[in-house]
Every structure is written in structure tokens, then in C-alpha cells.
Structure 1
Amino acid sequence: MRKLTFGMNLSLDGYVAAPGDDLGWSVPSDELFQWWSDRVGATDLALYGRRLWETMSSHWPTADQQPGATPAQKEYARRWRDMPKVVFSSKTFKVDWNTRLVTGDAVTEITRLKAEDGAPMDMCGATLAAAAARAGLIDEYVLVTAPVLLGGGKPFFTALDNWVNLTLVETRTFPGGVLLTRYETRR
């Protein structure tokens, strides 16, 4: 059975995007960027919600060809393109870069994918993660908390039907006071 992890950058007050889907507050240090890149390199399959997919696919497929792209950005772009991805959306649209689209029930498909053999899967997108969390499908939460208060926006966590008990398995500090905390779900 595959492990499913939900991880994103978030503000100290718990938002993954400021109002208007502004992500300008979450620019990672080189060290944190490398950590995210290594994570992508170790992920067998990434599950995306439509909005985050649109953001990522508008930049990363050609980021390595942009003037001034750093070696780390080039590596991330290659890893991102190569990693198999599934996008969940109620709308039909074209996907590229080693990606397939699922327009049916996300929880049913995520349950099926988890039951397969394989390396870990990453959940990308707070709305998709909310459905997976309510269904009890997330095995690990990775919070990369920036020392900024946004006061509103898209929350990392949404309302749940039941408590989710967690065990802290890692903490790490990155430049700029960014704190990574990793928790496993206790079942």
C-alpha cells in the first residue's frame, strides 16, 4: 500500500495562499527549494487539484529554458516534468507533462491509487487534500510554515468530520525562520 503525504508552504496563521491566490509571500530560500526538489525526486506520483496544477504547469514545464534559471531550478523543472501526475477536476481540459486527468470521484480514485504497490504519493492542493483528509486517506502531513500572517486566504486545513491524531516525526528550521514540521497520522 502506498503512503499519501500532504505538504505545502503555509503562513503562520494557516493559509497556503493569500486572498486572490497570491503566493508572493512564500518564496523559498535556496535550501528549502532544494528540499522541495529532493521531495519531488523521491515521489512516485503527485496528485494535484486543478488550480494548483494550473499554477505549476504554467511555469515549470519550461522553467529550465528561462534566462537566468539556476541549476536548482533546472533540476526541479526536469524532476517535475518526469514525475507522474494525476490532476483531479470536475472540468475536462488538456493535461501534458506525464499527467493524466481524473474527472470522476477523487476519493474513489485516491483510494484505488493508495491500494497499489509503489513508492509514496504526494497530495498537492488544499481543496483536494480536504476531501482526502475527510476520507481518512492522508498518512502524513508536512507543514512548511513561514513567519508571516496573511489574515485570510486559502486554508491548509479545512473542516473535518472527526479528529485526526498525529505524531510528530520531524522538525527542521530553514533560513528566514521557516519551520518544517512533519506528522504521521495515528491510526
Structure 2
Amino acid sequence: MRKLTYLIATSIDGFIGDESGEAEFFTKYVDEEYLAYGFEELPEMMPTFARQHFGIDDRPNQRFDAVLMGRGTYDVGLPQGVTSPYGHLKQYVVSRSMEKAPAPEVELVSGDMVAKVRELKRQDGLGIWLCGGADLAGQLVDEIDELVIKTYPCLLGSGMPLATAGFAIREFALESVKSFSGGNVITTYSRQR
């Protein structure tokens, strides 16, 4: 059975962006060492245009072959004409208001997201990457099998949280911690059921 992995960037104090979800400022903390690790260990998390730019577009997907993103996450690239941000993955965009996907490679999803994720998990393939945002993560919090938290060395004080789920204790076990000389840390947790 496929896993749903919430792989997300966050500040030390747990915010994935400002109040609107903008998170471009995290790129300030990406250095050569961190990029090299991403190229080697998580090449599928790079948008297709970035994979082409860095010459890694021929690298096979290692962990994921599908990406699930909320409308706000998807909309980030639209002003630059990026309608298929992760063309190397099967792309699902959750939206109640979009009537037609801007690209044929993008499948719009609405309705019962838990049922949709359970359906995707039953299909053959690699894992499913929950790319963001906080509302979608909140809706799917009980379906998340793994957390991969990319923590950047900054405090924001306020902003968009990791997930907008109601209070409940949801236990995860620490699987690994990878730290980088620039202060970034990637922490992986698996769901304890």
C-alpha cells in the first residue's frame, strides 16, 4: 500500500509561510550542500523546470510518483505561466472553485479528500507527496503516514502553520535527522498507529 508523505518546509517555530502562505524567503537558506542532498535523495520534490535547469531531469523518481497540492500551493506558479509544476509526477490539485485544470497533466480533485487519498493509496506505485498547504494537510492529517519536515534556521513569529487540524494528539516516531552546515535540518517521522 502506498504511503502519504507530508514533505514540507517550515521555520523553527512551525510556520510554512506568512499568513498568505508566501514562502519564497526560505530559498535564502538553500546552499550548495543542501541542494546536492536534494538532488540525490529527493529529486522528485524539485519542480520540473528546476530539474531541467540543474540538469537532473533524467533522474528517476525514488520515493514519489504522485503529488497532491492545494489550490494555494498550485497557484504560486501560475503568474509565471507554470501550469504543470511537477510534470514528472502525477499531479492532483484540490480545488472547489476551479472548473478546468490549466494543463492536461493536472487532475482537479474536489469532494471527500480522505476517500480520494485512500483510493490513491490502494493503487500501485511509489508514494504520494502531500506538497501543501495547511488546510489540505489539516483535512488529511489522519491519513498522513510519514512526515518529512525541512526546517530552516529562522523564526517567523506568526504565519501559516504546518496544518490547520483541530487539537488531537497524533503520535509519530522519529526515523531520521539530517543536519546541514547552513543550519537546515530534515527530520523524518513515521506514523504510530
- TM-score norm. by structure 2 comes to 0.78
| Structure 2 SS opposite 1:121 | strand
Give the count of matched residue pairs: 170
Q: Does 1:51 align with 2:57?
A: no
**Correspondences of 1:1-187 after superposition (within 5 Å):** 1-27=1-27, 28-34=30-36, 35=38, 38-40=43-45, 41-42=61-62, 43-59=64-80, 61=82, 80-95=86-101, 96=103, 98-125=105-132, 126-133=134-141, 136-187=142-193
Q: Does the 8 Å CA contact 1:29/1:175 hold for their aligned counterparts?
A: no
Which amino acid in the other structure matches residue 31 of structure 2?
A: S
Deviation at residue 156 of structure 1 after TM alignment: 0.6
Q: Does the 8 Å CA contact 2:136/2:163 hold for their aligned counterparts?
A: no
Q: Deviations over 1:31-72 (max 9, x none)?
A: 43451751433311000100001114555849xxxxxxxxxx
Of stretches 105-114 and 139-148 in structure 1, the one that deviates more from structure 2 is: 105-114
- Provide the rounded CA distance (Å) in 1 between the counterparts of 2:112 and 2:88: 25
Identity of aligned residues (%): 30
Which amino acid in the other structure matches residue 32 of structure 1?
A: Y
CA gap of 1:32–1:185, structure 2 versus 1, over 3 A, is same
| Structure 2 SS opposite 1:152 | coil
2:56 matched to which residue of 1? none
CA gap of 1:124–1:60, structure 2 versus 1, over 3 A, is farther
CA gap of 1:24–1:82, structure 2 versus 1, over 3 A, is closer
CA gap of 1:183–1:58, structure 2 versus 1, over 3 A, is farther
| Contiguous gaps of at least 5 residues in structure 1 | 63-76
Q: Does the 8 Å CA contact 1:49/1:88 hold for their aligned counterparts?
A: yes
| Contiguous gaps of at least 5 residues in structure 2 | 46-60
Deviation at residue 107 of structure 1 after TM alignment: 1.6
| Structure 1 SS opposite 2:114 | helix
The structure with the greater share of residues assigned to helix is 1
CA gap of 1:13–1:61, structure 2 versus 1, over 3 A, is same
| Structure 2 SS opposite 1:86 | strand
CA gap of 1:58–1:160, structure 2 versus 1, over 3 A, is same
